[in-house]
Amino acid sequence: MRVLTAMAAFLAVLLFAAPAQAAAGTIAVNGPAVFGQSVTFATSVSGKVPRGGWVAVQVGCVAGGRIVYATGGAPDAVFPLVSGTTAYPWDGSPAACQADLRVIDRKGIATLLARTEFTTT
């Protein structure tokens, strides 16, 4: 009888336990964002990142109505604010940017955790 009671208690915990809290996060720019220099981000992630998943930062900037910068990397990456490709030529004019902190599951599906917006000088 005690075994059945213990088994019932164990199953109740498995069936009715609160699900693991989904990941949440914050992101902020560290210092000024200046064309020709690099920018980093202060990030934090709490909760559960899916098994096999990872956290990434995606950065995009627009100037004059066109994309001038788009890249991604690890949360602790250094992002050089330069015109790196002919696909996104950038003359250094001020750009409106945003950085997204995302968790990406093992299937490649990205979920937004936090976003910050900033302007380059």
pTM: 0.78
Residue 60 included in any domain? yes
Count structural domains, the chain: 1
Residues 6+ apart with CB under 8 A from 96: 61, 62, 63, 117, 119
- Asked, for residue 30, whether it belongs to a domain, the answer is yes
**3 within a domain of the structure (yes/no):** no
Q: Which domain holds residue 90?
A: 20-119
Is 5 contained in some domain?
A: no
| CATH code, 36 | 2.60.40
Q: What is the pLDDT along the chain (121 residues), one digit of tens a residue?
A: 444 444 444 434 333 443 445 678 999 999 999 999 999 999 999 988 888 999 999 999 999 999 999 999 999 999 999 986 667 789 989 999 999 999 999 999 999 999 999 999 9
Residue 66, domain member (yes or no): yes
Residue 9 lies in a domain: no
Q: How far apart are CA 61 and CA 13, in angstroms?
A: 48
